[in-house]
Amino acid sequence: MKKLLTFTSAVFLCFIFSGCPYESKVPLDKAKEKINQNLLGTWNEEHFEFKISKLNEFTYLLWGRDKFTNEIEDTVAAYITTLNGITFLNVYDYNPDGVPEKYHLYKMEMNGDKQVKIFPVTDDIKNEFSTSDSLKIFIVGNMKHDGFFEEPWILTRIK
């Protein structure tokens, strides 16, 4: 059952953020940046509508609804890490009783409080990292290269 939930969550992440991003066993950092209140609320995308709420001082909860099937998708959690002025999301399957097994990484750009662009980190990366420090060094050293990020998913605020 756990594998099915993990698979379903991975598929949801791929659809919700328009492509499967790089998957890591470690996050970019621990959750230590306070949440941005401007991200809380209901957001719209071509295929999904989803809500972002506050899990705690540093972490968001996201759940989506497929606009075509009206099905509610799995809940994921996310938190922000800033590297050299660039905002990244560390996204993982939410399990209140467990430790995340993997993280998906995205660059995030806010345009005021009405629009957010989410750029998946390419899944073409074949490197695996055992520490957040080594992952950060790799990301900072490569994030300016063409193709490091996939095309953005654009969210607009509903309320």
Count CB atoms within 10 A of the CB of residue 33. 15
Supply the DSSP string of 114-125, one letter for each residue.
TEEEEEEBPTT-
Count CB atoms within 10 A of the CB of residue 129. 17
Domain regions of the chain by residue span: 2-157
Distance of alpha carbon 84 from alpha carbon 68, whole angstroms: 39
* pLDDT value for 9: 42
Name the CATH topology of 2-157: Lipocalin (2.40.128)
Distance of alpha carbon 30 from alpha carbon 27, whole angstroms: 7
**74: its two tokens:** 């799995």
CA distances from 33 to 28, 82, 124 (A): 12, 8, 28
Count CB atoms within 10 A of the CB of residue 157. 15
Cross-strand bridge partners of residue 86: 83
Helix (H, G, I), strand (E, B) or coil at 1: coil
Q: For each of the chain's 159 residues, which pLDDT tens digit applies?
A: 343 334 334 444 444 444 578 999 999 999 999 999 999 999 999 889 989 999 999 999 999 989 999 898 878 999 999 999 999 999 999 988 888 999 999 999 999 889 999 999 999 999 999 999 999 999 999 999 999 999 999 999 998
* pLDDT value for 80: 98
Distance of alpha carbon 99 from alpha carbon 60, whole angstroms: 16
